A = this chain, B = another copy of it.
Amino acid sequence: MAFDITSLVFDARGLIPAIAQSRDGEVLMLAWMNAESIAETLATGQVTYWSRSRSAFWRKGETSGHVQKLVELRIDCDRDCLLLVVDQTGPACHTNRRSCFYTAVREGEEIVLCEPIA
């Protein structure tokens, strides 16, 4: 079946959450996309999100160089969430950590799992 972006389920803002996962399985981040950013990502092979704060394309890594090359786009059963398998250049997180999910809750305490890449 041909993929049709309009078959996805967007929220009231026209957005859909997108999980970025590295090829080796690490969950890197969650951000949001709209129909145009999905089309842009598929057309260019470089992940482009939608910035909710700027209401503009967020070409991941455009200023930092920490780009995400799309390996595969996947859709969930309800068609209201995307999984982007990516090749991540450098850290995905703006704190310079590989993943944004670097804080764990263990026995009621927050534990930082990794330090920024030097």
Residues of A within 8 A of B (CB): 1-3, 17, 19, 21, 24-27, 29-30, 42, 72-78, 81, 83, 93-95, 97, 100-106, 108-110, 113
State whether A110 and B25 are in contact (beta carbons under 8 Å apart), knowing that A19-B19, A83-B101, A102-B77 are contacts in the complex. Answer: no
How many copies of this chain does the complex contain?
Answer: 2
Q: Check A105–B3 contact: CB distance below 8 A.
A: yes
Central interface residue in A3, A26, A72, A93, by most chain B CB within 10 Å: A3
Q: Check B75–A103 contact: CB distance below 8 A.
A: yes
State whether A76 and B30 are in contact (beta carbons under 8 Å apart), knowing that A19-B19, A25-B25, A101-B83 are contacts in the complex. Answer: yes
Q: How far is the CA of A72 from the CA of B111 in the complex (A)?
A: 11
| A56, chain B: closest CB distance, angstroms | 18
Nearest 9 A-B pairs (CB), nearest first? Answer: A25-B25, A76-B100, A74-B101, A83-B101, A75-B103, A30-B81, A77-B100, A3-B105, A73-B105
Give every chain B residue within 8 A of A100 (Cβ-Cβ): 76-78, 81
Indicate which residue in B19, B72, B103 contacts A27 across the interface (CB closer than 8 Å).
B19
